């Protein structure tokens, strides 16, 4: 896969889990550059389809707090709200 949107930061080390949030021992973090690429593609599709901006993100499971924190640090200007809940 070629990265089309993950070009803002050449080195994503500053967003690694041990620098953003304390994470569970022996748990791997989601790759920051891949998250930036997925977010860029999602923004492109949302803009083409509905022309929405800024974006609201909702996660009904609440398991991706680390990813949402990194996403806000990378592109917080285009995010209006991030809502996480845990219904379990």
Domain count, the chain: 1
Q: Does residue 8 belong to any structural domain of this protein?
A: no
Q: Does residue 3 belong to any structural domain of this protein?
A: no
Q: Transcribe 18-81 into DSSP letters.
A: HHHS---TTPPPPPHHHHHHHHHHHHHHHHHHT---SEEEEESS---HHHHHHHHHHHGGGEEE
> Please, are residues 70 and 35 in contact by the beta-carbon 8 Å criterion?
yes
Q: Which domain holds residue 32?
A: 13-84
State the pLDDT at residue 31: 77
Residues 28-66: tens digit of each pLDDT: 556 778 888 888 898 888 887 777 778 888 888 776 777
More confident residue, 22 or 65: 65
Task: Note if the pTM is more than 0.85.
Answer: no
Q: Does residue 33 belong to any structural domain of this protein?
A: yes
> Please, are residues 85 and 62 in contact by the beta-carbon 8 Å criterion?
yes
**Token reading at 56:** 């609201």
């Amino acid at each position: 896969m070629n990265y089309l949107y993950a070009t803002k930061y050449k080195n994503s080390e500053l967003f690694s889990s041990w620098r953003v949030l304390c994470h569970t021992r022996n748990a791997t973090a989601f790759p920051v550059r891949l998250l930036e690429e997925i977010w860029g593609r999602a923004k492109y599709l949302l803009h083409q389809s509905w022309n929405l901006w800024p974006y609201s993100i909702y996660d009904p499971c609440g398991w991706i707090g680390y990813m949402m924190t990194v996403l806000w640090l990378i592109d917080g200007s285009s995010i209006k709200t991030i809502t996480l809940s845990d219904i379990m």
